[in-house]
Amino acid sequence: MLILGDKTNSVAQFLTIVLLFLFVLGITWLATRYMAGIQKSKMDGSNISVVDVAKISQNGYVQILKIGEKYISICVTKDNITKLSEHSESEFVFRENEPVKVSEFAKTLQKVMKNEKK
């Protein structure tokens, strides 16, 4: 009888820990969504937007920013930000929302998942 009591107590403790973990995970998710909403609302009315980003090295990027009506290219590294040049809108080719290409791995994974369901 003593062994059954210990087992019940262990299961109750385990379930309590799992529920506490799920509660903390939920609170973290809500806080993250709340903070993301605040950041998004701050950026919505901004005159600064990132138009494009290209990685040029392990920790270096070239970014094209739209500031008001001007386009500026900058180089961003871990320790430095350097203005490269200013551009006019006519110098750019803007792509409309192109569909995202699915990688070969993703296609293979989808096939495997379909076969598993059968």
State the pLDDT confidence band at 32, using cuts at 50, 70 and 90.
very high
User: What is the DSSP code (8-state) at residue 91?
Assistant: G
Residue position matching structure tokens 């605040």: 38
In this predicted structure, the answer to whether residue 43 has a pLDDT above a threshold of 80 is no
What pLDDT score was predicted for residue 47?
A: 83
In this predicted structure, the answer to whether residue 2 has a pLDDT above a threshold of 50 is no
- The end-to-end CA distance of the chain, in Å, is 46
What pLDDT score was predicted for residue 98?
A: 62
The structure tokens listed for 80 are 């430095």
State the pLDDT confidence band at 24, using cuts at 50, 70 and 90.
very high
Residue ranges per domain, the chain? Answer: 1-46, 47-89
What pLDDT score was predicted for residue 27?
A: 97
